[in-house]
Amino acid sequence: MGSFAAMPLPDLVEVLGRRKSSGLLTCERGTVRKKVYLREGVAIGAASNDPREYLGQLLVNFGHISSEQLEKAFRTQEETQIRFGKVLTMVGLVTPEIVRQTLAIKIRETLLDAFVWDSGLFYLDDTPPPPGDDLDVEVPLGEIAREAEFRSTAWQAFRATFPTGAATLSVDDSKVPAALGPGTVDGKLLALAREGKTIDEIGLMLHATDFHLYQRLYAMQRQGMLEAAPVLGAGEPVPSPMMAAELVAQARKHLAAGRLVEAESAAARAGALAPQLSEGQEILEQAERALERSLDADLTEPDRTPALRVRANQIGTMQLSSAEKYLLQRCNGSRTVGQLAQLAPLRRLEVLKAIKKLVQAGALEVR
pLDDT per residue as tens digits for the range 148-188: 999 999 999 999 999 999 999 999 999 999 999 888 999 99
- pLDDT of 25 over the 60 cut: yes
Q: What is the mean pLDDT of residues 103-126?
A: 92
Q: What is the mean pLDDT of residues 317-346?
A: 89
Omega before residue 140 within 30° of 0, cis: no
d(CA 263, CA 81): 36
pLDDT for the residue 276: 73
Helix 278-299 and helix 348-360: axis angle, to 10°?
A: 60
d(CA 20, CA 42): 7
- pLDDT of 334 over the 70 cut: yes
Q: Please compute, for residue 188, the number of CA atoms within 13 A of its CA located in the half-sphere on the CB side.
A: 17
- pLDDT of 337 over the 50 cut: yes
Per the CB < 8 A criterion, the answer to whether 183 and 242 are in contact is no
Q: What is the mean pLDDT of residues 53-58?
A: 94
pTM of the model: 0.85
Between 10-14, 182-186, 271-275, the lowest mean confidence (pLDDT) is in 271-275
d(CA 274, CA 265): 14
d(CA 249, CA 296): 26
Per the CB < 8 A criterion, the answer to whether 104 and 139 are in contact is yes
Mean pLDDT of the chain: 91
